[in-house]
Amino acid sequence: MTGTNFHDGTVDYSTVHYVEKNRYEQDTKIQVENGSILITKDGTLGKVALVQGLNMPATLNAGVFNVKIKDPETIDVDYVYQYLAAPFLMKYANAKSTGGTIKHLNQNILIDFPVLLPRKREQVKLAELLNGLDNTITLHQRKLEKLQELKKGYLQKMFC
């Protein structure tokens, strides 16, 4: 998987490239599973995606950082995803990135990024609120696209 497979915080599995099993097994740190949070660290910095619905073994290329929750009893993956998808990660990433034309974000910088962790119950409530807003935004984007198509059709009929 690469950052080009990220779309609106998810991974588009139809666009990923497949590798041989021996390449997959070379590095367990970049093996991906459901609940992994991915962050781009080359090119377009700080794009974030939450891995869901993965039904086969998967791995990353070198341009993506893999965040795995070590203690799901105290840390909510949806909260951490929302926290990392917030604009301040991008601000932090841009301030700490290196490189000229093609930016690069060192893995150590991402490891040092501070994540505020309230109690698990609060994390869950915040994640539910933000996920609900994301769903509402997606629904309105779809409605907007349909209205734009309708407008285009009316304009064609009116002026052609």
Which tens digit of pLDDT belongs to each residue from 112-138?
A: 888 999 999 999 999 999 999 999 998
The secondary structure of residue 156, as a DSSP letter, is: H
In the predicted model, is pLDDT for residue 151 greater than 90? yes
- The residues near 97 (Cβ < 8 Å, ≥ 6 apart) are 45, 103, 104, 105, 109
SS (H, E, C) 79-107: HHHHHHHCHHHHHHHHHHCECCCCCECCH
d(CA 1, CA 16): 6
Mean of the pLDDT values across residues 79-86? 94
Residue 94 tokens read as 């841009």
Please state, as a whole number, how many other Cβ atoms lie within 10 Å of the Cβ of residue 7: 11
Backbone angles phi, psi at 144, to 5 degrees: -60, -45
Helices (H), the chain: 21-25, 77-85, 87-96, 107-111, 120-159
Quickly state the pLDDT bin for 99 (edges 50, 70, 90).
low
Q: Are 31 and 67 in contact (CB under 8 A)?
A: no
User: Model pTM?
Assistant: 0.81
Kindly report the length of the chain.
160
Model confidence pLDDT, tens digit, residues 43-66: 777 889 999 999 999 999 888 999
Query: What Å distances lie between residue 117 and 4, 90, 114, 127, 135, CA to CA?
Result: 29, 19, 9, 12, 24
Backbone angles phi, psi at 101, to 5 degrees: -70, -45
Q: What is the pLDDT of residue 110?
A: 83
Q: Scanning the structure block, which residue is given the tokens 């949070």?
A: 37
Model confidence pLDDT, tens digit, residues 28-41: 888 999 999 999 98
